[in-house]
Chains A and B, each alone.
Chain A
Amino acid sequence: MADYEIDDTVDITDVVCPVTFVKAKVALEELDDGQILAIRMNDGEPVQNVPRSIKEEGHQILKLNNNEDGTYTLIVKKVEDEA
Chain B
Amino acid sequence: MGKTVDYATLKKGGFMRQKQKDNFSLRLQVVGGALTAENLKKIAEVAEKYGDGHVHLTSRQGVEIPFIKLQDIDEVKEELAKGGCKPGVCGPRVRTVTACQGNQICPSGNIDTYHIAQVLDQRYFGRELPHKFKFGVTGCQNNCLKAEENDVGIKGALNVKWIEDKCIGCGVCEKACRTEAISIKDGKVIVDYDKCNYCGRCAKACPTDAWDADSAYILSFGGTFGNTVSKGESPLPLITSEEQLFRVTDAAIQFFADYANAGERFKFTLDRVGRDKFYQVLEEAYNG
A residues with CB within 8 A of B: 1-2, 43, 47-49, 51-52, 55-56, 60-66, 72, 74
A60 surroundings in chain B (CB, below 8 A): 207
Name the CB-closest residue of B to A65. B171
Is B273 an interface position by the 8 A CB rule? no
Query: If A56-B107, A61-B207 touch, does A51 touch B172 (CB 8 Å cutoff)?
Result: yes
Q: Which 3 A-B pairs have the closest CB atoms?
A: A61-B207, A52-B205, A64-B171
Question: Which chain B residues (149-199) contact chain A, with CB distance < 8 Å?
Answer: 168-172, 175-176, 178
Do B170 and A48 touch (CB < 8 A)? no
Do A51 and B169 touch (CB < 8 A)? no
Q: Tell me which of A43, A52, A64 contacts B170 (CB under 8 A).
A: A64
B204 surroundings in chain A (CB, below 8 A): 52
Do A55 and B168 touch (CB < 8 A)? no
Do A51 and B205 touch (CB < 8 A)? yes
Query: If A64-B170, A66-B171 touch, does A51 touch B178 (CB 8 Å cutoff)?
Result: no
Interface flags, B213-225, vs A, CB<8A=1, else 0: 0000000000000
Name the CB-closest residue of B to A72. B175
Do A61 and B107 touch (CB < 8 A)? no
Do B201 and A61 touch (CB < 8 A)? no
Question: Which chain B residues (63-117) contact chain A, with CB distance < 8 Å?
Answer: 107
Do B175 and A55 touch (CB < 8 A)? no
Known: A43-B175, A52-B204, A52-B205. 16 other contacts (CB 8 A): A1-B168, A1-B169, A2-B168, A48-B176, A48-B178, A49-B176, A51-B205, A51-B207, A52-B172, A52-B176, A55-B206, A60-B207, A61-B172, A63-B171, A64-B171, A66-B171
Name the CB-closest residue of B to A64. B171
Do B175 and A48 touch (CB < 8 A)? yes
- Least CB distance, B141 to chain A, in whole angstroms: 13
- Least CB distance, A69 to chain B, in whole angstroms: 15
- Least CB distance, A24 to chain B, in whole angstroms: 14
Do B201 and A52 touch (CB < 8 A)? yes
- Least CB distance, B39 to chain A, in whole angstroms: 32
Bound-state Cα–Cα, A65 to B175, Å: 11
Q: Can you spell out 11 A-B residue pairs with CB atoms less than 8 angstroms apart?
A: A48-B175, A49-B176, A51-B172, A51-B175, A52-B172, A52-B176, A55-B205, A61-B207, A64-B172, A66-B171, A72-B175
B175 surroundings in chain A (CB, below 8 A): 43, 47-48, 51, 64, 72
Do B178 and A63 touch (CB < 8 A)? no
A72 surroundings in chain B (CB, below 8 A): 175
Indicate the member of B170, B171, B175 with the most A CB atoms within 10 Å.
B175
A63 surroundings in chain B (CB, below 8 A): 168, 170-171
